[in-house]
A and B are shown apart, each in its own frame.
Chain A
Amino acid sequence: MNYNWDWGVFFKSTGVGSETYLDWYITGLGWTIAIAIAAWIIALLLGSVLGVMRTVPNRLVSGIATAYVELFRNVPLLVQLFIWYFLVPDLLPENLQEWYKQDLNPTTSALISVVVCLGLFTAARVCEQVRTGIQALPRGQEAAARAMGFSLPQVYWNVLLPQAYRIIIPPLTSEFLNVFKNSSVASLIGLMELLAQTKQTAEFSANLFEAFTLATLIYFTLNMGLMLLMRMVEKKVAVPGLISVGGK
């Protein structure tokens, strides 16, 4: 077990085509970002709808949302991914199944599985944040909006949600970052995202420590960058005269 340190390894050719190891990382990062953003869009939309449902004065509606949250929060992400990747395609109607399993390129079907899986998984968490945000508002806000003749959808859209979202930007940020980190499970169904490329680099080059150090640095930078971005968003939407939750 002799180890040869070589920090220049990333600029070396992988021996596969004319790519360097750095190219692999760039491709991997691209996949990671694509998966995370796509999943986040699903999570934000679905999670908001579910979060609103949980606060609506209707037992059935809020019950459905609660059941969703419990289901998706209490099954490990990896089990959910396997279900979406291996099991759900088997349940599709025959012609659709054939298309999904045979006509579709394996990368695309894996991508669909992981995006749907992460999106629905994260939606349960976003739902809880949105609900917390809405319930944190003074009860009088809803009453005042209704007193002016707003319908229930208008109350949510014009009065409750704009305020709730502002309150929950910090916890939403950490969920957003979690999507990036969680997208690494895609490597387990063969998608060549950042972690998979790192593993491959480690195996091909035998420069294990360098390979993982770079991956760590990329994740770390990504994290910091997104955090700064969300702080800017928070500042931008901050309301004058209101003490923001994240501020000092």
Chain B
Amino acid sequence: MDFSGIIPALPGLWNGMVMTLQLMVMGIVGGIVLGTILALMRLSSSKLLSNFAGAYVNYFRSIPLLLVITWFYLAVPFVLRWITGEDTPVGAFTSCVVAFMMFEAAYFCEIVRAGVQSISKGQMGAAQALGMTYGQTMRLIILPQAFRKMTPLLLQQSIILFQDTSLVYTVGLVDFLNSARASGDIIGRSNEFLVFAGVVYFVISFSASFLVKRLQKRITV
């Protein structure tokens, strides 16, 4: 094993890491927004909305993420064309971001739903007794408390997403893993670069989950 080839490759690897982090952040933000909307639909008294959200969650949770990424990569250009009526070029990056957002939304929805349900019914009653509307109660009273409670879970899910972004390998996006694979292949040191990639993923995920655990303790105490 000879790891000396890694130093000159670092700028390229860094670019890959930037793409990994971009995918992750956009996936998390979009996933949480969409997931929260879905959670509110699930909890709403409208049968239609709640069934729709239920079906969405069930659907995305029973198929592999890799399938979603592959499918969206192939399908998004078609769908956009049907919507806009003209050829709109979309890169693999956009289709992957959309795939992550929609896939993660199903998981975030369940986290948010559990978080909202963990807030006591009395809070809802108290807010409404003060004259707040349902929307105000959710936005000002319930969701802020729920998000505080579920922060550790949301972060844990984000760490999982950080690891899962490596699946964009399948559509040829040059994220961190793929840039490591490519740099290693060029100089014939693919094993060393693979180990390096593994170590970097490990260090980041391990430290992040360590911090999440500490945060969790602080929240529960």
Contact = CB atoms under 8 A, between A and B. Distances in A.
A76 B67 contact: no
Contacts of B3: none
A184 B66 contact: yes
Given A184-B67, A220-B59, A79 B191 contact: no
A182 B64 contact: yes
B118 interface: no
B194 A86 contact: yes
A71 to B, nearest CB: 7
Contacts of A184: 64, 66-67
Contacts of B117: none
Interface string B188-206: 0011001101100110011
Nearest to B180: A79
The bracket for how many chain B residues form the interface is 35 or more
Interface in A160-219: 177, 181-182, 184-185, 187-188, 195, 198-199, 202, 208-209, 212, 215-216, 219
A182 B67 CA distance: 10
B207 to A, nearest CB: 9
Given A1-B87, A219-B62, A224-B62, A74 B202 contact: yes
A223 interface: yes
A82 interface: yes
Given A83-B194, A182-B64, A195-B67, A76 B201 contact: yes
Interface of A: 1, 3, 70-71, 73-80, 82-83, 86-87, 90, 177, 181-182, 184-185, 187-188, 195, 198-199, 202, 208-209, 212, 215-216, 219-220, 222-224
